[in-house]
């Protein structure tokens, strides 16, 4: 296995290159396509950044497997053995298109199914959150402290709009019991808020590339990252996800309705 | 009436002083009290900043009336004649307390009921949005362009959590018809997003100090600021408020249920 400090240097340099590309492209016309529905977008930049990351990984780690949001194919039976890189080139593409703000670029690295490194880059703030179980979590070069173990009543929660509007698992109860609800529209940005202690919990339906990096970083700070019912996430499956302090997780699990 | 360019210089200098005070106080213990309910907060900093603004205004404009969020008294019959300053020292106090981010300091100036100047300071980004009907709107020293006249389907909307959870006026329909919902937890920050074209609409129940500055800035950029039904806002009353592009306003008004 390659030394992870070499990997850290490489990934940071790739993400900085990707950022420059993204910033330059704001001045040009960005091509946008829809995927599964009218609000599920992909742009020429998402594809270009993913291709760039994949090329770098393949050149430097020829035996590694790569799963990318934009090149993911349902029919492939992806394996968790060996080194697996999971990529979301631009997380929060809707924000990227409409706001040119509040989006992230993310990479997670797993070794035989165990999360080793996560990288979440808040592109517009130029803040790169990175780390893993052995080294802790950093924002650029500053070490993050473990966030306070807030309970639900004393914490802000981030709940995805569909969960809130459709009252999935009675999550409106959770909303009303909390200090307030926030919705930022990017899993990466929302993971960052929980890492920093700005929010006590985050609830959404996420795909593997949405949580691959954030799960590694959050767990390295003693945060809980599971399904709403507390089951372990399968790194290759989509699922409802609850990222939370221990206290907020407990409070939320007491309030949600049973799964139907 | 004093020249507004002198007023602009004064207000900017006061807001920069307030920002320094706020930033210094992050390192100290901030006192927090509740007001109307457990999620309606005021801190020692809100009060200190409001007192500072009021003192500056009274020294420089002795005949002006001042309405401040923290010193507002229901029993006073406030008048709109003459020069009226409406102040929200820290808008998004919950964010201020929990996140130390995503809050604003706001001042609106009315002359005989007509909005002359608005100032919204995104404290953590150090971005001051200011302007009025005659001069347009600036972010620091850069002039803002009028945002694109997006329709609802192509725009993000900001809807307050209570409106969304309680499906006020069937606003869940509006949420589902839009490109997505965002909740940032500060009227000032949400006004800024509509000014910048990052969101096409913002819907919330607001008090006079929540919309005093934003209304002036938004109208100077051809945005619509009214009640949901399109009625003119009373500058001294609380109300549901819709801030939107012309197209998004039209779309939303077709979707909402009649007021009960």
3-state secondary structure of B89: strand
Give the residue from A91, A103, A137, A132 showing the smallest Cα distance to A7.
A132
Identify whether the C-beta of residue B220 lies closer than 8 Å to the C-beta of residue B243. no
Say whether residue B94 is in contact with chain A using an 8 A CB cutoff. Answer: yes
User: H or E element: which one contains A252?
Assistant: helix A246-255
Runs of H (alpha helix) within chain B: 4-25, 44-60, 93-99, 161-165, 171-177, 187-195, 208-220, 246-255
CB contact under 8 A, A99 and B199: yes
**Interfacial B residues in 227-246 facing A (CB < 8 Å):** none
Q: For B124-137, give one letter per residue: b (16+ CB within 10 A) or e.
A: beeebbbbbeeeeb
What domains are defined for chain A?
4-143 (3.30.540.10), 152-255 (3.40.190.80)
Give the chain B residue whose CA is nearest to the CA of A182.
Answer: B183
Q: Which residue of A has its CA nearest to B150?
A: A98
Report the alpha-carbon distance of residue A98 to residue A94 in Å, rounded: 6
Are A161 and B180 in contact (CB < 8 Å)? yes
Q: Sign of the CA dihedral A59, A2, A114, A144? A: negative
Residue A152 contacts B where some CB pair is shorter than 8 Å: no
- Range with lowest mean pLDDT among A67-81, B7-21, B97-111: A67-81
Q: Is A234 labelled as part of a ligand binding site?
A: no
Characterize the bridge pairing of strands B201-206 and B156-159. parallel
Tens-digit pLDDT profile for residues A52-101: 999 999 999 999 999 998 888 877 788 889 999 999 999 999 999 999 99
pLDDT band at B2 (very low <50, low <70, confident <90, very high): low
Mean pLDDT over residues B27-44, rounded? 90
- Residue A1 confidence (pLDDT): 47
ipTM, two decimals, is: 0.95
List the single best residue of B165, B177, B194 to mutate versus A (max A Cβ within 10 A).
B165
B92, B102 contact by CB (below 8 A): yes
Q: What are phi and psi of A146, to 5 degrees?
A: -60, 135
- Indicate yes or no: CB of A176 within 8 angstroms of CB of B184: no
Q: Are B71 and B56 in contact (CB under 8 A)?
A: no
Average pLDDT in the A118-138 region? Answer: 98
> Which residue from A163, A159, A168, A164 is spatially nearest to A187, judged by alpha carbons?
A159
Q: Which helix (H) or strand (E) holds A25?
A: helix A4-25
Q: Residue A131's CB: how many other CB atoms inside 10 A?
A: 23
**Which of A64-78, A180-194, B215-229 comes out lowest in average pLDDT?**
A64-78
Say yes or no to pLDDT of A2 above 70.
no
Task: Please list, in sequence order, all residues whose beta carbon lies within 8 angstroms of the beta carbon of residue A43, skipping any fewer than 6 positions away.
Answer: A30, A31, A32, A33, A90, A93, A96, A97
Residues in chain A with CB shorter than 8 Å from the CB of B164 are 161, 164-165
């Amino acid at each position: 296995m390659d030394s992870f400090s070499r990997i850290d240097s490489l990934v940071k340099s790739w993400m900085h290159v990707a950022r420059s590309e993204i910033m330059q492209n704001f001045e040009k016309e960005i091509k946008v396509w829809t995927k599964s529905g009218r609000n599920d977008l992909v742009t020429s930049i998402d594809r270009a950044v993913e291709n760039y990351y994949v090329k770098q990984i393949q050149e430097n780690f020829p035996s590694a497997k790569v799963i990318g949001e934009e090149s993911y194919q349902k029919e492939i039976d992806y394996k968790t053995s060996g080194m697996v890189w999971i990529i979301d080139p631009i997380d929060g593409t809707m924000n990227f298109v409409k706001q040119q703000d509040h989006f992230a670029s993310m990479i997670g690295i797993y070794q035989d199914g165990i999360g080793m490194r996560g990288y979440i880059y808040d592109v517009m703030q130029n803040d790169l959150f990175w780390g893993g179980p052995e080294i802790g979590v950093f924002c650029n070069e500053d070490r993050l402290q473990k966030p306070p173990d807030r309970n639900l009543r004393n914490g802000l929660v981030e709940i995805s709009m569909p969960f809130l509007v459709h009252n999935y698992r009675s999550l409106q109860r959770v909303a009303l019991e909390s200090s307030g609800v926030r919705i930022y529209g990017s899993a990466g940005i929302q993971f960052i808020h929980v890492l920093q202690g700005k929010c006590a919990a985050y609830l959404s339906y996420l795909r593997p590339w949405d949580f691959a990096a954030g799960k590694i970083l959050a767990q390295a700070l003693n945060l809980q990252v599971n399904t709403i019912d507390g089951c372990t996430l399968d790194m290759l499956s989509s699922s409802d996800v609850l990222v939370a302090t221990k206290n907020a997780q407990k409070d939320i699990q007491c309030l949600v309705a049973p799964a139907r």
